[in-house]
């Protein structure tokens, strides 16, 4: 489901940090004509462009600006102070929150119980339009507003919708934090290369390109990850030997499952 990408409506972006700026870049590629970004940092000034106004506070939003979408990309700990002012847009605009841990109920308490709210969890590959966002609509979100949210969130990669807000806790653990796990793997592969006497330049090149190439192969293949793993694991070969170490006593699978569980529990704690 996608709203037309020809000429996006007016958008108010609250927070121009890494994820907010990634979304803004994606919207510009999809025909953004008018937007206001609220962010007090000096760095946010670079987001200004034709049709895009950057202001330091809610009070500085140009009079008469009437957004169809208000995207909440501030840090969760700032929400209680920052959000109530934006309640004036409830009834017309759809609010799209990408704040980790803030539930639909909590956001509604700040914006008014009748506010149309979409809660979403994107991830950092959004910066190169390769992200994945999982979103859940609140009870007051109309079909048109959901389609608009789909277009705005989909500007940075894939989007999937769920009806159960509780799913966003494991989503946060898996895809929200997932890039960090992949980057850790790159770090470990690079360090292992250094430990084996490979030059720093080659160790880094091999680690990065192996992950990049493997991801591209996974994206291009109809096979699942397990089948691709089996295909590269020759019987009695070097890869089989390495995997035997990683899977000894179910070590790596067990630790990864425990890590995801820990992150999921932390997401639930932040939602409380």
Cβ proximity of 87 and 32 under 8 Å: no
Same domain, 141 and 197: no
- Answer yes or no: is 173 within a domain: no
Number of domains in the chain: 2
In a domain, 202, yes or no: yes
- Mean pLDDT value across residues 164-192: 97
* Residue 36 shares a structural domain with residue 137: yes
Classify residue 119: in a domain, yes or no: yes
* Average pLDDT score over residue span 212-223: 97
4 pLDDT above the threshold of 60: no
Q: Report the pLDDT value the prediction gives residue 108, as an integer from 0 to 100.
A: 95
- The reply to whether 198 and 265 lie within a common domain is yes
DSSP three-state, residue 61: coil
Confidence of residue 52 (pLDDT cuts 50, 70, 90): very high
Confidence bin at 2 (pLDDT 50/70/90):
very low
Q: Judge whether 5 lies within some domain.
A: no
16 and 75 in a single domain? The answer is yes
d(CA 2, CA 175): 22
In the DSSP assignment, the letter for residue 121 is E
**Does 182 share its domain with 102?**
no
Domain range for 95 is 11-168
- Tens digit of pLDDT for each residue in 199-211? 999 999 999 999 9
Domain termination residue (choose one: 133, 168, 203): 168
- In the predicted model, is pLDDT for residue 7 greater than 90? no
Do 99 and 123 share a domain, yes or no?
yes
Higher-pLDDT residue of 137 and 7 is 137
Is there a domain that residue 6 lies in? no
Query: Is the pLDDT score of 14 beyond 90?
Result: yes
- Indicate whether 190 belongs to any domain: yes
Claim to verify: residue 15 and residue 135 sit in the same structural domain: yes
Whole-number pLDDT of residue 1? 36
Distance (Å, whole) CA 173 – CA 262: 8
Together in a domain, 143 and 187: no
Residues 157 and 267 in one domain: no
Q: Are residues 120 and 52 in the same domain?
A: yes
Paired residues of 116 in beta bridges: 94
Instruction: Indicate whether 95 pLDDT > 80.
Output: yes
What's residue 272's pLDDT? Answer: 66
Of 98, 95, 101, 115, nearest to 17 (Cα)?
Answer: 98
Residue 2 lies in a domain: no
Check whether 5 has a pLDDT greater than 60.
no
Asked if 240 contacts 234 with a C-beta cutoff of 8 angstroms, the reply is yes
Give the CATH number of the domain where residue 160 resides. 3.40.50.720
Using the 3D structure, point to which of 168, 186, 215 is the last residue of a domain: 168
* Residue among 197, 157, 196, 173 nearest 260 (CA): 173
Which pLDDT tens digit goes with each residue over 106-157? 999 999 988 999 999 999 999 999 999 999 999 999 999 999 999 999 999 9
Is the pTM higher than 0.85? The answer reads yes
Q: Residues 132, 250: one domain?
A: no
In the listed set 127, 144, 168, which residue is the last one of a domain according to the structure?
168
Residue 4 placed within a domain: no
Q: Is the pLDDT of residue 270 over 90?
A: no
pLDDT score at 101: 86
Quickly tell me which residue has 């190169």 as its tokens.
128
| Same domain assignment for residues 154 and 209 | no
Q: What is the CATH number of the domain that holds 216?
A: 1.10.3730.10
């Amino acid at each position: 489901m996608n709203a037309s990408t020809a000429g996006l409506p007016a958008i108010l972006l609250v927070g121009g940090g890494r994820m907010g700026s990634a979304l803004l870049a994606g919207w510009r590629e999809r025909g953004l004509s008018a937007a206001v970004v609220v962010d007090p940092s000096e760095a946010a000034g670079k987001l200004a462009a034709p049709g895009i106004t950057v202001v330091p506070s809610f009070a500085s939003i140009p009079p008469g600006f009437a957004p169809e979408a208000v995207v909440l990309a501030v840090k969760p700990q700032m929400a209680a102070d920052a959000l109530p002012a934006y309640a004036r847009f409830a009834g017309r605009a759809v609010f799209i929150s990408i704040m980790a841990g803030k539930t639909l109920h909590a956001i509604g308490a700040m914006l008014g119980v009748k506010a149309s709210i979409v809660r979403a969890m994107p991830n950092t590959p959004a910066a190169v339009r390769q992200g994945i966002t999982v979103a859940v609509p609140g009870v007051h979100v109309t079909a048109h507003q959901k389609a608009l949210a789909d277009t705005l969130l989909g500007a940075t990669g894939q989007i999937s919708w769920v009806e159960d807000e509780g799913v966003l806790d494991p989503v946060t653990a898996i895809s929200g934090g997932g890039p960090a796990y992949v980057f850790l793997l790159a770090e470990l592969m690079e360090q292992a290369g250094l430990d084996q006497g490979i030059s720093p330049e080659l160790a880094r090149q091999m680690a990065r390109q192996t992950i990049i190439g493997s991801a591209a192969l996974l994206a291009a293949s109809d096979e699942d990850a397990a089948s691709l793993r089996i295909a590269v694991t020759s019987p009695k070969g070097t890869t089989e030997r390495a995997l035997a170490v990683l899977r000894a006593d179910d070590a790596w699978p067990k630790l990864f499952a425990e890590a995801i569980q820990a992150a999921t529990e932390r997401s639930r704690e932040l939602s409380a």
